Structure 1
C-alpha cells in the first residue's frame, strides 16, 4: 500500500490462485514443444487477515496474470494504491482490470512480443475509455518471453518488479521508480476534479529492458509486498531451489514458501526489513516489516 497523493491472504486462497495456473503451465504438450516457453506458479496473500471473496488474479489490491500466445509467454503483476479506499474507491479494481485487459490482449494477439510497455499502454488507454470509469491508481510490471529469439522483454513502472537468477546469481533485476520514499510511479485514473491533485505517470515512463535468457533461468515477478519484506539473499536462496525446474507442482511449493515468508515477516515488528532500511536511509526511524498485499509469480525458462 502506498500514499495516495504520492503514488498510489490466507494460505488456502494463495494456493487456490496458484493451482488455477498450474493446469496450463504443467500441460505435457507444452513441455514437449521445441519453442522456448515459461513454466509458472502463483501464490499470494491479501494484507487483511479476514477471509475475503476469492477472485482469480487478485490478492487484496494486488493483481496478476499469465498468458500464452504463439509468439510469446507473458507474465504481469500490479499493485493498486490503497489510499483510494478513503474516497470510496476500491483500490483493487483498477489493478485487476489493468491486468485482465493485458491478459485478453495477449490471448487475442493484440500486442508486440518485443514491447511490453506498449501492452501496458494499450491496457491503460482501454481503461481510460471504458464505458464505466475504472478509477484508481496502480504500479505494474510486465515481462514477455519472445519465443523466436529466446529474449525476455520487460517493462516496469513503480515498485513492483522482477528478478532473474541463473546458477545462484542475480543476472537482472528491475529498478524501482520513486517520486520519493514510498511514493512510486503509477498509472492513474482519478475521478473528475482530482486530476491536479493526483500523481499520474504515463505508460511510456516505464523502465524497459531486454536480454537473452537460457534454459533453466528462474524468473520472479512480484509486488512490493515481497521486495519490501524479503532481503535479496533470502529470495535468491529460494530461487536457487528451482533452477532448471520443469515441474509446476514443485515450482508451486517454492512460490508458496516465498509468499509465506514475506507474509510472516511483514507482521514481524522486530525484523529489520528492506522497507525499514530504506526508511532509515530516508531519515525515517522505523523497525519491522511492512504489512502489505503479497503477490508472487515464480517461473522457469524451458528451451
Structure 2
C-alpha cells in the first residue's frame, strides 16, 4: 500500500494484490488457478478548495473502503448529505462510520459474498446501536467480487454508483434512485424529534444486481461528484486504458486522471455537465459543473 500527495489537497492510495503464475507438475495443488481478485486504486477530493484535514477513507463528506476476505474482495463508497451541516452535524461522520463498519464486517467474515445489501444493512444496524449517536444521512454503493463463482454482486442506494467496462464497452451501470431531482435515496439517522421531517430509506431499498465478470474487466465505483460532472463517453475513454491492467501504479494514474477531470469540470461554469443536463430535463435552466466531493475507486478483475 502506498500513498501519493498532490498539491496538499489530494491523497490517493493504491492497493495491489500480486498474481502468482507459479506451477509445477510435481504438486497438483500448485496447478490451481489463482483465486479471482481485484487490483484497485483510489483517488479523491473535497469540494473545498483550501487544504483539508486528511482522514483515511474520507474525501470531504465522501467515504470509501476496500476490504479483502478469503471469499471475496469488496469495494464501497458513500456520500454524506451536506444539508446536515445547517443543523450543526458533520455530514461526513455518518458516511465514514458506515463504510468503516462495512470494512470491519468484511474483515471479520460477517457478511454474505452474494448479498452486499445485507452488508449495508448490518453496518447501518450497528450505527443505530452505537454508544455515541452518529447522526446524518448518506447514499452508498457496495460491490463484491465473489471468488467462488467469478461473479460481481452489487447494491446501490441513491446516486453514488458503479460502472463496468469490458473491451471498451459498458456492460453494466448502476441506476440512480431519486425521490425527486437532486434528492437521492439515503440511509439516515436523524436527531430525536426530526424523524418525521427527514427522508430515510431502508437498506433493502437498494437496487441489487449480479453478473459474471471476466479477466481484465474494469470496475469504477464512485460518488455522484464523478457521475454528475463526467459524461459517460469521457469515463469510458479513461477506463478502457486499463483494460486487463494488473499494475497498481498504472491503475493509480488513471484513477488520478478521472478525479482531476471531475474536479476541474465541477468548477467550470460554462460546461453543460450531466448534472446540468438532468436539471434542464427537470425544468431547471442552468449550466456548469456541480462542485462536489469526488471519490474514485478504480479496479480491474484478475482471474
CA offsets 1:235-257 (integer angstroms, 9 cap, x no match): 00000000000001000000000
Pair 1:77–1:12, CA change in 2 (3 A): farther
Change in Cα spacing, 1:216 to 1:255, as seen in structure 2 (3 Å) is same
The alpha-carbon distance between structure 1 residues 14 and 299, as it changes in their structure 2 partners (threshold 3 A), is: farther
CA contact (8 A) 1:177 1:185 kept: yes
The answer for the alignment partner of 2:145 in structure 1 is 145
Give the Cα–Cα distance (whole angstroms) in 1 for the partners of residues 219 and 260 of structure 2: 18
What is the match of residue 132 of structure 2?
132
Matched residue SS, 2:236: helix
Give the equivalent residue in structure 2 for 1:241: 241
Q: Residue deviations 1:158-181, cap 9 Å, x none? A: 000000000000000000000010
Partner of 1:225: 225
Is contact 1:11-1:45 (8 Å) kept? no
Deviation at residue 28 of structure 1 after TM alignment? 2.9
Partner of 1:200: 200
- Aligned partners of 1:137 and 1:188 also within 8 Å: yes
Return the alpha-carbon distance in structure 2 between the equivalents of residues 31 and 148 of structure 1.
19
Counterparts of 2:249 and 2:21, CA distance in 1: 14
Q: Does 1 or 2 have the higher relative contact order (CA < 8 Å, sep 6+)?
A: 1
Which of residues 5, 16, 28 in structure 2 aligns to 1:26? 16
Find the aligned partners of 1:31 and 1:130 in 2 and give their Cα distance. 45
- CA separation of 1:171 and 1:14: change in aligned 2, threshold 3 A: farther
Aligned to 1:5: none
Is the Cα–Cα contact under 8 Å of residues 14 and 43 in structure 1 kept in the other structure? no
- Corresponding position: 1:293 with 2:293: yes
- Report the secondary structure of 2:262's partner residue: helix
Q: Any gaps of 5 or more consecutive residues in structure 1? A: 1-9
Instruction: Label 1:14 to 1:236 Cα distance change in 2 as closer, same or farther (>3 A).
Output: farther
1:283 and 2:283 aligned: yes
CA contact (8 A) 1:14 1:44 kept: no
- The CA RMSD over aligned residues, in Å, is 1.4
User: Could you tell me the TM-score, scaled by structure 1's length?
Assistant: 0.93
TM-score normalized by the length of structure 2: 0.93
Partners of 1:88 and 1:63 in 2: CA distance: 19
Structure 2 residue runs of 5 or longer lacking an equivalent are 23-32
Equivalent residue number for residue 4 of structure 1:
none
The answer to whether structure 1 residue 267 and structure 2 residue 257 are counterparts is no
**What SS does structure 2 have at the residue aligned with 1:28?**
coil
Alpha-carbon distance between aligned partners in 2 of 1:84 and 1:31, rounded to the nearest angstrom: 50
Corresponding residue for residue 48 of structure 1: 48
The match for 1:75 is 75
**What per-residue deviation string (whole Å, max 9, x for no partner) do you get for residues 182-236 of structure 1?**
0000000000000000000000000000000000000000000000000000000
Residue 279 and residue 30 in structure 1: after superposition, are their counterparts in 2 closer, same or farther (change >3 A)?
Answer: farther
Whether the aligned pair in 1 keeps the contact of 2:116 and 2:153 (CA below 8 Å) is yes
Return the alpha-carbon distance in structure 1 between the equivalents of residues 80 and 71 of structure 2. 29
Residue 117 (structure 2) aligns with: 117
Provide the C-alpha distance between the structure 1 equivalents of 2:59 and 2:108, rounded to a whole number of angstroms.
25
Distance 2:272 2:68 in 1: 39
Distance 1:235 1:215, change over 3 A: same
**Contact 2:161 2:222 survives alignment (8 Å):** yes
Please say which structure displays the higher CA radius of gyration.
2
The superposition leaves residues 92-114 of structure 1 with CA deviations (integer Å, 9 ceiling, x where unpaired) of 00000000000000000000000
